[in-house]
Structure 1
Amino acid sequence: MTLPYLLGVCLGQSQKAVGGSVEFRLTNLPSTTPDTFTWLFGSMAICTAIADTVAISPSYRDRASVDGTTVTLELRNLTLKRVSDPAIMISGSPDPLVAGKSSVSVTCEAKGSITTRKWMKNGGTLSPEPDRVIISEDNRTVSISPVQKEDTGEYTCQVSNPISNVEASATLIVNYGPEAVIIKGEDHEGAAEFKEQ
């Protein structure tokens, strides 16, 4: 039984023109060509070679070729899909959000070839706060725990690539109690005052 191993990761040039082509070559080619290898884009197989047979995924069939000796992959007719259908999903504590008690996650989803994802709040850049406002590494999700009254506002996710830019917005409302309450009045024996801090 032969276990698979990683020959290497190869990154192509990102500035190739739509409709053009790009070659991916291994820089540390093994001394003997492997009997079996697979080229992947993310987790999707572009092609798999077993012995002298190369199987190319249907979605790449007319746009990809592989040199079995050098393990070089060529992609032709490069495409870039427009970003579309942005949507923001809010999850976490049920409504209403209560300052100091509730937690919330705001997630941005979109379709297409996303190269940039950016969060804004009330028109300005949303900044993370250590241990309270966390933005995921891929900028998909903003998690706030616990929410504070200052978190109320319009949250906008902008997603883009070189040919399109779209955004979606959602409003968070954080409820909070009265602050520095002073109740003045008279009781039966004279003036009384009650303060809540």
Structure 2
Amino acid sequence: MNTVINILSKNPDQTNCKTRLKTLLSKDDRSFISKVMLEMTCKAISKIDVKKRLYLYPNIKGDFIKNLSEDFKLSVSIQKNGFLSDKIYSVLNVQDKTISKRILVGSDIPSINTSDFEECIGLLDRYDVVLGPSKDGGFYFVGVKNNAHEVFKYLKLDHITLNKMIEECLRYKFDYGLTRVLKDIDSCEDLLFI
């Protein structure tokens, strides 16, 4: 098992999730949809023989998280504070020498499935970085091997576009591959595509 899949998420029971949906959905509804999407992501990775980690903000409290970690055999940790790029770098900066492939995924991609992760793992045999493009111009996951996570180290960004990541890969001379385009759920309009 030389691969780890990391999920980056807000704790749906402990914080105000999906705030850009608050004009359409109540806090309870947003918490519910966040839980459903997080559980869908956990189900997708549960079928793969890899290490599985869940990084949460602001804490790891609550029965939902406890049950999720037990049901899907997830190691659970608190996210590092700072920019999104800092959080990604921190998660991917694994010191475990037995881990050669590291994947980080968001928790708001309802159409993601097991084969998306399997494709990423396979592509990491050929590429230093693998990106899953999202329809909004960002990316829903990133896979890295060796020291390719360094592309995030000095970004200091909360909004990272796919084009910015490609630019950084080229600057660092990392080969990159792309998987299929998927839709993440960030806004009211995004809900129309589910």
Smaller-chain TM-score range? under 0.3
* TM-score, normalising length: structure 1: 0.24
* TM-score, normalising length: structure 2: 0.25
- State the structure with more CA Rg: 1
- Structure with the largest fraction of strand: 1
Considering Cα pairs closer than 8 Å and 6+ residues apart, tell me whether 1 or 2 has the greater RCO. 2
